[in-house]
């Protein structure tokens, strides 16, 4: 059983990205890890090369979502980009479909419901989400779902870390240890 896990570098002025830190913390025999740039054009190309080389059974893509209080398992990827923020290369995409010849949304074949139920039964802070946003995370997820329809892939958004909050910042956050615990359980469940 091969599992490929990805995280992202910091973006939009942040100094850290919890998805990158989680990746640095997890170690299992059956996983490959890769840190991706927060860039529309290159993130998928880098991941595509890894998928072709590694031929994983599962792909777990991790990313940060400011404003989320739980770890969110994204059930679908939307065929849509809409952002006013440039990516880390300075590129700002036009609003519109990611791929004109594809459906508006694609659903993952990853066992999201089963994993969610397992984590919920252990009272862990998780949820199922139906929107991975309209920025690089969703762009990457949709392209993976579209290009590899039989691959069991999922995008997982994690909240901010407490140290990312600014003074009088009321956005939710989660401890790093809790994030790592959830990701470790997911990987062990698959293996």
Of 14, 20, 74, 181, the active-site residue reads: 74
Decide if 88 is catalytic.
Answer: no
Of 28, 114, 157, 181, the active-site residue reads: 157
Of 127, 137, 163, 181, the active-site residue reads: 137
Decide if 45 is catalytic.
Answer: no
Tokens of 166: 């600014």
Decide if 163 is catalytic.
Answer: no
pLDDT at 53 over 80: yes
Task: Say if residues 112 and 58 touch (Cβ distance below 8 Å).
Answer: no
Mean pLDDT of the chain: 95
pLDDT at 166 over 90: no
Give the tens place of pLDDT for each residue, 62-109: 999 999 999 999 999 999 999 999 999 999 999 999 999 999 999 999
pLDDT band for position 133 (50/70/90)? very high
- DSSP string covering 55-123: --SEEEEEEE-TT-SSEEEE-EEES-B--SS--TTS--PPSB-S-TTS-SEEE--S-HHHHHHHHHHTT
Share of the chain above pLDDT 70, in %: 100
pLDDT band for position 122 (50/70/90)? very high
pLDDT at 12 over 90: no
């Amino acid at each position: 059983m091969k599992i490929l896990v990805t995280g992202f570098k910091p973006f939009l002025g942040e100094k850290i990205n919890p998805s990158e830190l989680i990746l640095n913390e997890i170690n299992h025999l059956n996983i490959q890890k890769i840190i991706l740039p927060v860039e529309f054009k290159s993130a998928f190309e880098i991941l595509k090369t890894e998928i072709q080389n590694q031929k994983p059974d599962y792909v777990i893509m991790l990313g940060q979502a400011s404003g989320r209080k739980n770890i969110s398992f994204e059930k679908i990827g939307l065929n849509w980009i809409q952002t006013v923020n440039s990516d880390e290369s300075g590129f700002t995409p036009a609003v519109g479909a990611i791929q004109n010849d594809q459906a508006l949304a694609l659903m993952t074949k990853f066992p999201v419901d089963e994993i969610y139920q397992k984590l919920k039964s252990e009272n862990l802070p998780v949820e199922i989400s139906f929107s991975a946003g309209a920025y690089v995370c969703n762009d990457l997820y949709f392209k993976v779902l579209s290009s590899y329809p039989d691959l069991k892939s999922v995008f997982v958004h994690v909240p901010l870390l407490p140290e990312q909050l600014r003074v009088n910042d009321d956005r939710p956050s989660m401890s790093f240890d809790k994030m790592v615990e959830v990701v470790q359980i997911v990987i062990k469940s698959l293996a």
